[in-house]
Structure 1
Amino acid sequence: MNDQQVEISIIPSLADISAAEWDTCACPEAAEGARARDPFTTHRFLKALEDSGSVGPGTGWQPQYLTARIDGVLIGVAPLYAKSHSQGEYIFDHNWAHAYERAGGQFYPKLQIAVPFTPATGRRFLTRPGFEEAGLAALVQGAIQLTENNGLSSLNVTFCTEDEVQRAEAYGLMARKSQQFHWLNRDYADFDGFLGDLNSRKRKTIRKERQTAQGFGGTIETFTGNQIEPEHWDAFWHFYQDTGARKWGQPYLTRAFFDIAHEVLRDDIALVLAKRDGHWIAGALNFIGAEALFGRYWGCREHHSCLHFELCYYRAIDIAIAMGLKTVEAGAQGEHKLARGYLPTSTWSLHWMRDPGFGRAVADYLGAERAAVDQEIEILTDYGPFKKIEVEEQE
């Protein structure tokens, strides 16, 4: 294979490649109708972002999808974007941008291999089975060359897998470690089984929070697939707008995204909605993978005590247990998740700087940051709600 020519190309739109061909690399496990391990790198999800205008002109996320072929056969793809800002990434490099520009450089535009607005871990170098090494090498080297040829400041790969980090470091990319809070399913039969693993104080607190939330004066329902109706999206759009305006200044996703999601993404979604007095008043949107439930967005029209915890965290655990999923990824940040059974978990990104001096400075920063993240994970885990198991020393 080493003497075979690899052709690297950029396509500006997923309309230029079929869903079947893209998904051969993005989710080969779904070829026989199984659920995709990562719904966010599927052709249907990324194209929904594009077709809805959530990415593209005027958004700061300009698609530059990367493809690698050998003798015309697609062996790898990557969701690559030219970025004119650092919003919607959840791996923060604003300080890098300020430092680089103070030194006389131009940080933007930069290149980003990522799923826009989605802090969920998954493969970013998407390769056809049997071409894992050749595909990753071609995509990494192609992305670096593209960065260099266009005089851009950097290449960044966010929320990639640890395996990709270990392999991509050989090509000069620098690893960055961060952390999120994930819930792990220890083969629980039900929510009470999960509570049984917690210490008594946390167990009582969660039961009280669920009781408080469920006493808000209405009902809570979960919808997926064909159970989701247009009226549900109408309601959720209002929730999402409110949250987006408060967190980011304006929502990342357009209204059209939810209309497209209704047509092509319903089977990937679990929508939890609360209704009171005949009106939907709060909701949480989750995406379903083959092994994980990904909590993405929350919003409300009325504030009720503990309702956020119920819809976003506890109902997500209920769904994961019912579906036999291994984890719930609850999104970025939020140490309040720790008390609700979500433990600190490492997440990863990769970075390459065109300027060697700036690259050395970033490498020094990443080394110190990694030590701090490791310490934080250790401390937070120790403060977790699970029972402490005494291990007796062997005689």
Structure 2
Amino acid sequence: MSQTLVPRLVRHISHIDASAWDALGDGRCCTSHALLSSLEDSGSVGEGTGWHPQHLVLFDGDAPVAAMPLYEKLHSFGEYVFDWAWADAYQRHGLAYYPKWLSAVPFTPVPGARLLARDEATRAALARTARALADESGLSSMHVLLPGPHEAELLAENGFMLRRGVQFHWHERGYRDFEDFLAALNHAKRKKIRQERRRAAAHGLECRWLDGHSATCEDWAFFHHCYASTYALHRSTPYLTPAFFPMLAARMPAGVRLLIAYRDATPVASAFFLLDGQALYGRYWGAVEDLPFLHFELCYYRAIEYCIAHRIPRFEGGAQGEHKISRGLEPVETRSAHWLRDERFADAVDRFLEHESAGIDFYLGELSERVPFRREGP
């Protein structure tokens, strides 16, 4: 490695060779060049979205040796680690919270590498460079959402405050099939899941798994209709454009899964997942009919079955949702890192995070008592 690494802000990830970018990552699909470039090229991020790519890349000569997916954000939508109260406090005191720096995978609450690097020395250099950028830019703050544990510690060493959170993940433990998984649960939860699956089966639907090779343009158009309908039901606007899903499927065909439920060859519901060697990631779903328990069937039970059949180590069900515990997912702690320029607000947020962390300890303890697996012994 040369003595001097040169930092650059890259406004479009296509300016970085895909293989060079991916070589820096941890193998997770969510920070892959294919996914991030599809977000940009489909117009899901970029001009008019409030997500302006400014990826921080360290170069050793002409070679990228470290990279941070980074955005200049004009709002806090699509983040899953909420700082609306901080933004409101800034506004009430006549200060501008936006734009801010955000390192995250847009619209995707999947923990993983945010400081992509070829080795630990360049990873540490990237953390220092990110802090220097935050200091020198004049923006209100920098936030790194859901980094890996080691990365969180590196950021803390550079003056970032750490915030704890909770997600719910399912873990493959050598189950032979779904019934074997159910056998590991306590009687009440096992009975409830069987009841829900019977109610879903009563709709008489056939479910098919598709990947980026087998899904057609019509399949993706149907899924986007379902996806947009789910947002409409919550009086919201979808973040991802219709072009995103087929574009990602073409660029990362092995890394996407689409589950479609049909009635007499007519699609009525669908769920979208991402996949890599470490996990299956539940992302979006929607239906053109209101069918009780179909959401649980497609988004959880079929996903767990898929993981068991393909020996996928983990299923991540996304952000929030205590109801996931009763369906076999377990609480997992996450971290995020935050830096605020204004020392007064930084002190206030630091005190808030200390108080919040104590609450997270209590919450995790409470959740551990609700895990549905059978307990051995008296």
TM-score computed with the length of structure 2 as normaliser: 0.97
For 2:151, what is the secondary structure of its paired residue?
helix
1:79 to 54, 69, 80: 69
Deviation sequence 1:111-150 (CA, Å, 0-9, x none):
000000000111000011xx22x22222222222222222
Q: Deviations over 1:9-52 (max 9, x none)?
A: 1111112111011111124xxxxxxxxx3101111110000000
Separation in 2, partners of 1:265, 1:236: 17
Distance 1:227 1:70 in 2: 40
Of the structure 1 ranges 143-152 and 379-388, higher mean CA displacement relative to structure 2 is found in: 143-152
- How far does residue 201 in structure 1 lie from its aligned partner after superposition? 1.3
Distance 1:329 1:262 in 2: 20
1:120 equivalent to 2:107? Answer no
Note if 1:38 corresponds to 2:52: no
Residue 196 of structure 2 is aligned to residue 196 of structure 1: no
What residue in structure 2 maps to residue 176 of structure 1? 163
**Displacement of 1:384:** 1.8
Alignment partner for residue 110 of structure 1, among 100, 103, 121?
A: 100
Q: Distance in 1 between matches of 2:61 and 2:205?
A: 60
Aligned 1:127-206 pairs, distance under 5 A: 127-128=117-118, 131-132=119-120, 134-206=121-193
- Quote the residue 2:88 is aligned against: 98
- Distance in 2 separating the partners of 1:240 and 1:265: 20
> Among 25, 47, 53, which residue is 1:63 paired with?
53
Question: Which amino acid in the other structure matches residue 3 of structure 2?
Answer: Q
Give yes or no for contact 1:281–1:301 (8 Å, CA) kept in 2: yes
Task: Establish whether residue 305 from structure 1 lines up as the match of residue 292 from structure 2.
Answer: yes
Q: Distance in 2 between matches of 1:151 and 1:181?
A: 36
Asked if the contact 1:244–1:252 (Cα under 8 Å) also holds between the matched residues in 2, the reply is no
Shift of 1:371: 1.1
Report the Cα distance in structure 2 between the residues aligned to 1:83 and 1:271, rounded to whole angstroms.
Answer: 30
**Residues 1:119 and 1:283: Cα distance change in structure 2 (over 3 Å):** same
Residue 325 of structure 1, CA deviation: 1.4
Provide closer, same or farther for how the CA distance between residues 332 and 187 of structure 1 changes in structure 2, counting only shifts above 3 A.
Answer: same
Helix, strand or coil at the partner of 2:319: coil
Given that residues 206 and 263 in structure 2 are in contact (C-alpha distance below 8 angstroms), is that contact kept between their aligned partners in structure 1? yes
Alignment of 1:298-377 (within 5 A): 298-377=285-364
Distance 1:248 1:50 in 2: 25
1-side partners of 2:230 and 2:130: how far apart? 34
> Which letter maps to 1:138?
A
Q: How far 1:389 moved relative to its partner?
A: 2.2
Q: Aligned partners of 1:19 and 1:244: how far apart in 2?
A: 32
Contact 2:212 2:250 in 1 (8 A): no
Equivalent-residue separation in structure 2 for 1:363 and 1:136 (angstroms): 25
- In structure 2, distance between residues paired with 1:250 and 1:222: 27
Of 234, 240, 252 in structure 2, the residue corresponding to residue 253 of structure 1 is 240
Alpha-carbon shift at residue 246 of structure 1 (Å): 3.2
* 3-state SS of paired residue (1:331): strand
Aligned partner of 2:226 in structure 1 is 239
State the 4+ residue runs in structure 1 displaced beyond 4 angstroms: none
Q: CA deviation at 1:231?
A: 1.8
Q: Secondary structure at the match of 1:304?
A: coil
- Residue by residue over 1:246-301, the C-alpha shift from the partner in whole angstroms, topping out at 9 and shown as x without a partner, is 34610000011022123112210111111113321111111002111100001111
Identity of aligned residues (%): 42
Equivalent AA in structure 2 for residue 296 of structure 1: R
Instruction: Tell me how far apart the structure 2 counterparts of residues 349 and 66 of structure 1 sit (CA, whole Å).
Output: 18
8 A Cα contact 2:142 2:339, kept in partner: yes
Q: Which ranges in structure 2 are unaligned for 5 or more consecutive residues?
A: none
Structure 1 residue 214 and structure 2 residue 204: aligned?
no
CA contact (8 A) 1:272 1:285 kept: yes
What's the CA shift for 1:316? 0.7
CA distance in 2, matches of 1:385, 1:357: 44
Give the Cα–Cα distance (whole angstroms) in 2 for the partners of residues 380 and 224 of structure 1: 34
Does the residue aligned with 1:328 lie in a helix, a strand or coil?
A: strand
Amino acid at match of 1:25: L
Gaps of 5+ in 1: 28-36
CA pair 158-198 structure 1, distance change in 2 beyond 3 A: same
C-alpha contact (below 8 Å) 1:230/1:262 kept by paired residues: no
- Which of 198, 213, 230 is 2:217 aligned to? 230
User: Contact 2:213–2:250 at 8 Å: present in 1 too?
Assistant: no
Partners of 2:234 and 2:18 in 1: how far apart?
33
The CA distance in 1 between the partners of 2:310 and 2:331, in whole Å, is 23
Query: For the Cα contact (< 8 Å) 2:131–2:158, is it kept in 1?
Result: no
The 2-side partners of 1:67 and 1:350 are apart by 19
TM-score normalised by structure 1 residue count: 0.92
AA matched with 1:62: H
What one-letter code is carried by the residue in structure 1 that aligns with 2:374? K
Match of 1:15 in 2: 14
